[in-house]
Structure 1
Amino acid sequence: MDVTLLGTGAPAGLPRTDCPCARCARALGAGARAATALLVDGTLLFDLTPGAAFAAARAGHALSGVRQVLLSHPHEGPPVEVPPGLPQPARVPDGRELALMSGHRVRALAMDAPGTGYAVTGPEGERLLYLPPGGAVAGSRGTVDPFDTVVMDVTGRPDGVALLRRAGAIGEDTVLLAVHLDHDVPQGAELARRLAAAGARAVPDGTTVRTRPVPGTGVRELSRDEGPYRAPRVPRRTLVLGGARSGKSVEAERRLETYPDVVYVATGGTRAGDPEWAERVGAHRERRPASWRTVETCDLVPLLGEEGPPLLVDCLSLWLTDAMDEVDAWDDTAWAGGGREALRKRVAELVEAVRCARRRVVLVSNEVGSGVVPATASGRRYRDELGRVNAGVSGECEEAVLVVAGRVLPLPG
């Protein structure tokens, strides 16, 4: 099956007309995206958009062989002119299936927002799922076989990706392509980085993705025009560093928002009589997906040693505070009399647990020590020990990033 993405942008396109925002200003040249439309094997067109014929010609295709045009979502504005020779666009009722003369079968899927999703099976058994902007499959909690390719609104509906993963529709080898891209997400390297964390990617308008069986095997080869094409491999362990209000927690949560059943480990616990702390905790809870489970504990080693869904630990700096409390590290005499060795042993156990972790783990920690030297010995001790914790954990992570003013800087390994 050849899938050509004639456009990959939101219905209004990118950049938006007369929009003064910085993201639209940067979406120029190769970063510009027409409204999303897909051409499948030259015979099936999803979403007729303005300029579709020109977009197909630029991609080296013609629309003369199209035998069916299907719409996935309501189109605002004036009607799109249908190029000569194309059939009139239509939408298939939910649950209905079309059998085309080309050998393709198309099944319409009910969505949880206005629009229709389409599951396409090619003549040789290749499977494609295409979803409209802002939509996720309604009631997608059953178990299905993974699709070869899924094309959907990844940035707008990360929860929809999580539902598909839970159902098995997105597997380890599924190519997950982000479309309906709008100016709510930075383009270029930042978009690629965010999508890679979700196991997805975006491609330029005009890209053709091919799925075809490998002769003599039950495996399908996925490739793009320029060569082999595989879904990004998500790092198992990631450390997210940043200062106060830098956006580090948001970045950590974003990395797991397309995965179901995440275990969120809150190391801060509750603080009686502290309404400001309760407000912080409440804001974090409201931001997290409803499917995530929260565990309030500083006993991280057993959790890291268990098999299970992804683990988000927020944060190591509060874990260190608890560990220093336990060994009375704030007292100079206790610190010199064995507290230092006891703390270093706990840190070594944590680092070893991160090294041996088999589940996906995202850990958050504060980056301190770049400013004023603390005035007290205990403050300097905490700063130094947190630096050691961060360095030790970072050494066992495939990826580490530093968040500054809401921007994410990957740290070379």
Structure 2
Amino acid sequence: MELTLLGTGGPLGLPVPDCPCAVCAASIGAGARGATAVLVDGVVLLDLTPGVALAAARAGQSLGGLRLVLLSHPHDGPPVEIPPGLPTPARVPEGRRLPLITGHRVTAIATDAPGTGYAIESPDGLRALYLPPGCAPAGNAEADGAPYDLVLLDVAGRPDALARLRASGAVAGTTDVVAVHLGHDAPTAGPELDRRLAALGARAVPDGTTLVAGDYQEVPDVPRRTLVLGGARSGKSAEAERRLAGFPGVVYVATGGTRADDADWADRVALHRERRPASWRTEETCDLVPLLADPQGPPLLIDCLSLWLTDVMDKAGAWDDTAWHHGAAREVAARTAELAAAWRTTRRTVVAVSNEVGSGVVPATASGRRFRDELGRLNTAIAAQSEHVLLVVAGQALPLRG
């Protein structure tokens, strides 16, 4: 089954007309995208968009053999002209199955926002799923048989839809996940888009690309161990959360705990909680080794190693100079080595956040310098055992490894 992407952009395409934003300004030439429309084996068209006949011609495809034109979402723009000879576009009621004379079978899938998804099965049994912009499958609509061979969805706007598909088994390791409906609220081209999608196990392709369902695609594996470094308010936590947004049942490990007498800390904790998907579970603990040792658990997001080290030094009495020189230093080093060993051998997907230190003013106190030095050693030990290391500066993630 071949699916030709006549467009891969949001409903308004890219660049959005009269939009002065930086993303639209950069979406020129190969970075421009028409509104998403997909031609399946030349017999089914998913979404009728402006200039669809010209887009098909540019992709070397003909619309002459179309049997079915399906609409997936409400069209709020100007009326779209229907090219002569095309079947009348229709939006199929949720749950309805349409067998075609060509042997294809189309099923309308319920979504959690205005729109209708479509599952398409080819005569030889290959299966593809197409979801409209801003939509995820509703209820158990996505759990229908074996994993899909190919899934087209709004990965950038609704990574939780991908998480839901993974949780139901509709997306597996063999599923080719391709991002469509790419708008100016996400990177639209180049390394940044590829990096963000690869972290979710997905990819993007240019307009006019023909995908073959069932063909193996070399998408970078999701790194098992990722360390995200950055200064205060750099966006490091948001970057770490974004990397796991497409996975179900993530365990968010909060090493800072709660502080009943600190209103500012409570506000910070509440802000983090509001950002997390509802399906994530939170554990407030600094006992990280057992979590890393569990081979069957869902992905972990540890935020953050700096607060873990604070707890370790508190328990060792390491802030006191005398205690430091009479055993606390060895205890902190042993705990760091234990954590690094657990990180090295873990079988779970894990993302950890930590503060990058040493770039500012030298701390005025011995205990401050001690913490800076130990955190630098901890970051170095964890980074050495990580497939992927990022440094976040002003919200921009710079790959240091992987």
- TM-score where L is the length of structure 1: 0.95
Aligned residue for 1:200, secondary structure, equals coil
What's the CA shift for 1:187?
2.1
What's the CA shift for 1:392?
0.3
Residue 233 of structure 2 aligns with an amino acid whose one-letter code is R
Q: Map Cα deviations across residues 149-204 of structure 1 (whole Å, 9 max, x no partner).
A: 00011111111111111100010110111111100012222111111111011100
Partner of 2:192: 190
Partner of 1:215: none
Q: Distance in 2 between matches of 1:149 and 1:351?
A: 38
Partner of 2:376: 387
Q: Distance in 2 between matches of 1:81 and 1:360?
A: 48
Q: Give unpaired runs (5+ residues) of structure 2.
A: none
The answer to whether the Cα contact below 8 Å between 1:174 and 1:231 also exists between their aligned partners in 2 is no
Aligned residue for 1:403, secondary structure, equals strand
Choose which of 280, 285, 291 in structure 1 pairs with 2:279.
291
1:371 aligns with 2:360: yes
The answer to whether the Cα contact below 8 Å between 2:143 and 2:170 also exists between their aligned partners in 1 is no
Q: Report the number of matched residues.
A: 399
What's the CA shift for 1:270?
1.0
Residue 381 of structure 1 aligns with an amino acid whose one-letter code is R
Q: Distance in 1 between matches of 2:394 and 2:209?
A: 34
Partner of 1:208: 210
Q: Distance in 2 between matches of 1:405 and 1:337?
A: 41
Q: How does 1:201-350 map to 2 (within 5 A)?
A: 201-211=203-213, 220-222=214-216, 229-306=217-294, 307-350=296-339
Q: Distance in 2 between matches of 1:172 and 1:142?
A: 16
The answer to whether the Cα contact below 8 Å between 1:144 and 1:167 also exists between their aligned partners in 2 is no
User: Which consecutive aligned stretches of 4+ in structure 1 deviate over 4 angstroms post-superposition?
Assistant: none
Residue 286 of structure 1 aligns with an amino acid whose one-letter code is E
Partner of 1:216: none
Q: Distance in 2 between matches of 1:91 and 1:286?
A: 35
Q: Distance in 2 between matches of 1:93 and 1:200?
A: 29
What's the CA shift for 1:143?
6.4
Q: Map Cα deviations across residues 76-102 of structure 1 (whole Å, 9 max, x no partner).
A: 222211112211111111111111111
Partner of 1:357: 346
Residue 326 of structure 1 aligns with an amino acid whose one-letter code is K
What's the CA shift for 1:328?
1.0
- TM-score where L is the length of structure 2: 0.97
More displaced 10-residue stretch of structure 1: 358-367 or 144-153: 144-153
Q: Distance in 2 between matches of 1:200 and 1:172?
A: 11
The answer to whether the Cα contact below 8 Å between 1:175 and 1:230 also exists between their aligned partners in 2 is no
Q: Map Cα deviations across residues 199-220 of structure 1 (whole Å, 9 max, x no partner).
A: 0111000001112xxxxxxxx4
Q: Distance in 2 between matches of 1:120 and 1:272?
A: 53
More displaced 10-residue stretch of structure 1: 2-11 or 74-83: 74-83
> CA RMSD, aligned part only?
1.1
1:406 aligns with 2:400: no
Q: Map Cα deviations across residues 90-120 of structure 1 (whole Å, 9 max, x no partner).
A: 1111111111111100001111111111000
More displaced 10-residue stretch of structure 1: 154-163 or 377-386: 154-163
The answer to whether the Cα contact below 8 Å between 2:362 and 2:369 also exists between their aligned partners in 1 is yes
Partner of 1:42: 42
Residue 203 of structure 2 aligns with an amino acid whose one-letter code is R
Aligned residue for 2:215, secondary structure, equals strand
